Each structure stands twice: as C-alpha cells, then as structure tokens.
Amino acid sequence: MNPTALAIAILYAVVCVLATVFLLIVWRSTHRRRPSQEDSTDTRRLAHGEKAWFAVAIALLGVLLVATIPFTPYGEGAGSDDEQQMAVEGVQFAWITDPGEITAGKKVRFTVTAGDVNHGFGVYNDDNVMLMQVQAVPDHPTEVTYTFKKPGRYQIVCLEFCGVNHHNMVGTFLVRPA
Ligand code: CUA
C-alpha cells in the first residue's frame, strides 16, 4: 500500500468513527425522556445547545476540508514558464511526438491531436501501469499535464479502436534524468 492510499484509508476510518459517534449522540438526544411538564421547557438552554451544535458542525467541516485538500488533484498553476511542452499526434497507426525526449521532475504539457480519426492517447510506465490517458481528436487539440518522476522509456498505447492496425499503434518517448 502506498503512503497516499494508507493516508486516505486512515482518514476514511477516522471520518467513519466520527460519523458514528455523531449519529449516536443525535440518537441519544432524541430518545431522552422528556420532562413531565411541557411548559417547563427552557428555550434559552435549547437555543444555546443549537448554537453549540452549529459550532461543532462547522468545526467538523473545517477539519474535513483541511484534511482532504492535499488529496485533490487541483491547485496546479494554469501554466508556468517552467513547464516543458510535447506535441503529440496520433495517426493510423503511429504516434508522432515532438520532441521525443523530455526531462524528469518537471511538468510536461502535452498537446494531443489526431491526423485522421479519433485515437486514445494512453501513457504507460515500464511496469505496464497506465499513468494517464486522453482522447486524441482531429482538429481539437487536448491539453493534459503530467510530471514524470522516474527517468526511462515510456510507452504510448492507443486506447481507441481506430482501424485494422489499432493493436499495433504503440509509440515511446524518453524521459531523461533531471
Ligand atoms: Cu489509434 Cu487505435
């Protein structure tokens, strides 16, 4: 289990326990015996309790927000001078990449298009794990960014059936050490 998955599992367990405790408290509060005289209800105490619950709910939401924000894939800048560019074109039945080499540890912005029909741009590492994929569509460039941490040769596999040689539509590019 990788550290991120473990952190998510722990967070999930904590949230489950908190939710269970919360539900038990709510259940208890609604099953408490009522005072015998209805008109003796202390509305000021009830109002105070409501405020306390509101504070608890806000605090819980705040904790959840702070705890889960690191796992969101957003927050990357909309582009910087520091990133690398790679143009990718899919054609029956090959991948054209320009340039054919990039550097590890620095964000790559892929601009993916197709020269004839729709293709599927899928990038795999040497363990055959897919890192990302995006459609390659004629006349509609798609942008996607990725940062390769490990140097090596990566494989591009077509993920959209595009003709008789679709299964042979495989390419590679090199990620140089930083
Ligand atoms: Cu290109 Cu399948």
For 153, the token pair is: 């040769």
With a 6 Å cutoff on the Cβ, whether 161 touches ligand 1 is yes
- Residue 136 CA, closest ligand 1 atom number: 1
Q: How far is the CA of 20 from the centre of ligand 1 (A)?
A: 49
Q: How many residues does the chain have?
A: 178
Tens of pLDDT, residue by residue over 17-75, are 999 999 998 888 888 766 665 666 788 888 888 999 999 999 999 999 999 887 776 54
Strand duo 130-136 + 94-98: pairing: unpaired
pLDDT tens by residue, 89-137: 999 999 999 998 999 999 999 999 999 999 999 999 999 999 999 999 9
Q: Cis (ω within 30 of 0) for the bond into 161? A: no
3-state SS, residue 151: coil
Residues 51 and 54: their CA atoms lie apart, in Å, by: 5
The Cα–Cα gap between 64 and 32 comes to 30
- Measure the CA–CA gap between 104 and 53, rounded to whole angstroms: 50
Could you give the CA distance from residue 105 to residue 110 in angstroms, rounded to a whole number? Answer: 15
